[in-house]
Amino acid sequence: MPRPAVYLAGPEVFFPDVEAVAAELKRLCDAAGLEGLFPTDAERPAGNGVSIANAIYQGNVALIDRSRAVIADISPFRGAGMDPGTAWEIGY
């Protein structure tokens, strides 16, 4: 039986050790019986007319759509509030 997928949102995608952070978050999900989907896992469309921003958007939306839930780190990032991309992912 497949494990429920959860999307892991947060500012960690901007951390210098993003790969290690992603691996640890996925390990914690696995221990809880979940499949952690990290934004950097996304397949991003490429080609003529596809901007980097649009590719990131499409890839992340596809991961969120596969997920049963979003687990979000809303810690302050680059200021007093949460990362605005994380806020968007929560709202989506």
Q: What is the pTM of this model?
A: 0.91
Using CB atoms within 10 Å of the CB of residue 56, give its burial: 0 to 12 exposed, 13 to 18 middle, 19+ buried. middle
Query: What does each of the 92 residues of the chain score in pLDDT, given as a tens digit?
Result: 789 999 999 999 999 999 999 999 999 999 999 999 999 999 887 777 778 888 899 999 999 999 999 999 999 999 999 999 999 999 99
Spatial contact of 32 and 50, defined as CB atoms under 8 Å apart: no
- pLDDT recorded at residue 39: 96
Residue 25 parent element (H or E): helix 18-31
Spatial contact of 21 and 11, defined as CB atoms under 8 Å apart: no
